Chains A and B, each alone.
Chain A
Amino acid sequence: MRAPSYWQASLRIFELSLGEMLWSRRTIFMALVVGSPVLLAGVIRAIEAAGIAGFRVESLRINGATIFGMLIWVLYLRFIVPVLGIFYGTALIADEIEDKTITYLFTRPIPRGAVLVGKYLAYLTCTILVVLPSVMLVYFLLVPIGSASLVSSFPSLVTDLGLLALGLAVYGSLFGFVGARLKRPVVFGLVFAFGWEQAALIFPGYLRRFTVAYYLQALVPHAMPEQSTLGAVQALFRDAPSGLVSLAWLALFWLGFLFLAARTVERREYVLEQ
C-alpha cells in the first residue's frame, strides 16, 4: 500500500466529511440564516405584486436590482458570510474533538494537516451549495421589480456569486485557523467579525486593512442610491483599494490562514476529555 499524497488524503477526508457536514444540526441553522433573505425577497415581491406601494429608501423609489444589491452588500457580505465562516470554520476540527471521532482520522497514515484541508473543502462545498442558490432565488425574486432587466444585470450576479464564494473561502480559512488554535474560537470569531471589523471600517486610517471586509466590499459591484444614508455609508466604506489589490490581499489571507491552520493541526496536541 502506498500512502496517499497530501492532496489525495485531503480529498478522501472531504469525501468522508461532506455527508456528515451536510446532514448536521448546523445545516438547519445555516438554512435558517440563508432562508431569511429569500423570505424577505418573497415579501417584497408580494408587496410589489399587490401594488401596495413601491419599495423606497428614505423616500427614494428604488428598483429590484438596487434592493438586490443592498441585500448582497448588507445582509450576505456583512452578515451571512462571516457568520457561516465563524460557525463552520471554527468547528472544522473542534467538532471532531468534541465528538471524539478525531482519533480515527489521526491514527491513519496521512498528514494531520490534510484532515483540516479536507474538512475545509467540505465546508466550502457545503456552504457554497446552500448560499449560492439562496442568492439566485433572491435575484430572480427581486430584480424583475421596477422593470429591471434580468439579462443586463446577469453579469453582476455572476460577480456577486464569485464574491460570496471568495468571502466564504477567506472567512472559512481564517476561522479554521482560529478553531485549530484557540479554545473559545466562536467567541473570538464573533468579536472579530462583528466587533473589530465593524469598528475598524468606520475609523479612517490604516486599521481597516486588517479586516477581510475591507477588501471584500471593494469588489461589490452594486451602488446604493446616492442620496440615501446607505449611499453615504457605502461612500465611506468605498475608500477601498483597487479590485486587483483586493483580490491579491484576499488570496493571501485565504492561502495564508489555510496554511497556518493546517500547520497548527499538524503540530498541536489535542487532548480528548475523558
Chain B
Amino acid sequence: MTATAQPLVEATTLSKWYGQVIGLNDVTVSVPAGVTGLLGPNGAGKSTFMKLMTGQLKPSKGTIAVFGEPIWGHPHLFFRIGFCPEQDAFYESMTGLEWLTGLLRLNGLDEKSATTAAQHSLVTVDLVEAADKKIGSYSKGMRQRVKLAQAIAHDPALLILDEPLAGMDPIGRRKTIRLIKDWARAGKSVIVSSHILHEIEAMTSNILLIHNGRILAEGDVHQIRDLIDEHPHTVYIRAQHPRELARTFLEHDDVLSLKVESDAVVVQTARPDAFYSRLTDLAASSESGEIAEITSPDDNLQAVFQYLVK
C-alpha cells in the first residue's frame, strides 16, 4: 500500500451496529489516494462502511474522517466527494438532464453552469441521447450510468462508488471501468466496492477485504488471486438467445458447468478473466444475440472468505 501524507479516509476503531446487528466491527484502516477496491460478499459491511464514509450514518463507536475531517455534520466536504449509491432509486418522472442539473444546483452552481456540467457528465457516461428522456423509462444499465453521472458531475477529488457495475451490460462495464481508470489517471481518487474480484481487479490492485463487518486484509489483490482461482466462479447472463450463447460457451474448456434458463445462462467457469474477456467480445459483436445483463452471485467469494477466516 502506498503511504501518503494524509489518507483520504481514516477510520479508527470504527463500529456501527443496527440494534442487535453488527454492520461494522472495530475497523481501523487508512485508505490512501488512488483507486481502492472494497471487496467482500453481500452483507459483509461494504455498504455500511461506504455510508459511514459519506456521512449518511453516524458511527456507533470510533471515528471516521475524510480529507482529515469528520464527515458527519460537515456537508462542505461533499464539494470534494462524489457518491454513487448501490440502490436503484431515482426521481422517476424527471429526465436525466433535469435530475443532474437539479443536483448540481445543490452544489452551488448557477442554472447555466449546472446544465453545462450535467450535459458534460452525460456525455462522459455515454447517455447524452437519453438526456431528455424520463429516468423511469431508462434500462437498468442506463440507470446505473445516470447514477454514476450524478457522482462525477461536480468533478470531485474523491469518488465513492457502491457496486457501480451491478446490472450493467458488458459494454457498459468496460466503459465504466475505463472511466474509473481515467479518473485515477487524472490524479483523483476512487473507492469502489464490489463482491466480484474480477471487477475490482480490472480497476485496481489495491484492495480492502471485508467480511462479517471486519477488514480481513488490505493490500495487493494478487495475493488472494490464487485463492480465488481455486474456486469456480458463477456468472449469470441474461441474454436474447441463451441457447445459442450456451453453445458458444461450450466450445471452451474453462467452462465447468452450464445451466440454460428461459432468458438466461448460468455458467461456472474456472478462469473468470478469460471468460469475461470472451463475453465482452461476444456482446460487442452481437454474434449470439444481445446480452442484457451480467451478474455474479458471490458464492465463490464467500467460499474464499470462509477459507480466509478459518
What is A's interface to B at a CB cutoff of 8 Å? 1-4, 9, 12-13, 15-16, 19-20, 23, 99-101, 103-112, 269-272, 274
Contacts and interface: CB of A to CB of B under 8 A. Distances in A.
A3 B55 contact: no
User: 8 shortest A-B CB distances, which residue pairs?
Assistant: A100-B89, A108-B106, A16-B102, A109-B78, A107-B83, A100-B87, A12-B105, A1-B108
Given A101-B90, A108-B75, A109-B79, A4 B56 contact: no
A109 B55 contact: no
A189 to B, nearest CB: 25
7 contacts: A9-B106, A16-B91, A103-B56, A106-B56, A108-B107, A110-B75, A112-B75
A92 to B, nearest CB: 15
Contacts of A270: 56
Contacts of B154: 1
A269 B58 contact: yes
Interface string B78-120: 1101010101011101100000001101111100000000000
Given A19-B94, A108-B75, A112-B75, A4 B89 contact: no
Contacts of B109: 1
A100 B91 CA distance: 10
Contact of B91 (A1, A20, A269): A20
A269 B57 contact: yes
A274 B85 CA distance: 12
B16 to A, nearest CB: 10
A227 B47 CA distance: 67
Contacts of A105: 106
Contact of B106 (A19, A23, A109, A274): A109
A15 B56 contact: no
B108 A272 contact: no
Contacts of B107: 1, 108-109
A19 B90 contact: no
Contacts of A109: 75-79, 106-108
B54 interface: yes
Contacts of B108: 1-4, 109
Interface residues of B, number: 30
Contacts of B79: 1, 3, 109
Contacts of A2: 108
Contacts of A271: 18, 57
- Give the residue among A15, A99, A269 with the most B Cβ atoms within 10 A: A269
B83 A103 contact: yes
A16 B85 CA distance: 19
A107 B55 contact: yes
B150 interface: yes
A106 to B, nearest CB: 6
Contact of A107 (B76, B81, B89): B81
Contacts of A19: 93-94
B110 to A, nearest CB: 10
A255 B55 CA distance: 28
Contacts of B83: 103, 107
B47 A108 contact: no
B94 A20 contact: yes
A107 B93 contact: no
B306 to A, nearest CB: 22
Given A15-B105, A101-B89, 17 more contacts: A1-B107, A2-B108, A3-B108, A12-B102, A16-B103, A103-B85, A106-B55, A107-B78, A107-B83, A108-B106, A108-B107, A109-B75, A269-B56, A269-B58, A271-B18, A271-B57, A274-B47
A105 B108 CA distance: 13
Contacts of A99: 89
Contacts of B89: 99-101, 103
Nearest to B76: A109
B102 A111 contact: no
- Give the residue among A23, A103, A108 with the most B Cβ atoms within 10 A: A108
- Give the residue among B47, B57, B91 with the most A Cβ atoms within 10 A: B91
Nearest to B162: A103
Given A2-B108, A12-B102, A15-B102, A111 B150 contact: no
B135 to A, nearest CB: 11
Given A109-B76, A271-B57, A13 B85 contact: no
Nearest to A5: B108
Given A104-B150, A109-B75, A269-B58, A12 B106 contact: yes
B277 to A, nearest CB: 32
Interface string B36-61: 00000000000100000011111000
B76 to A, nearest CB: 5
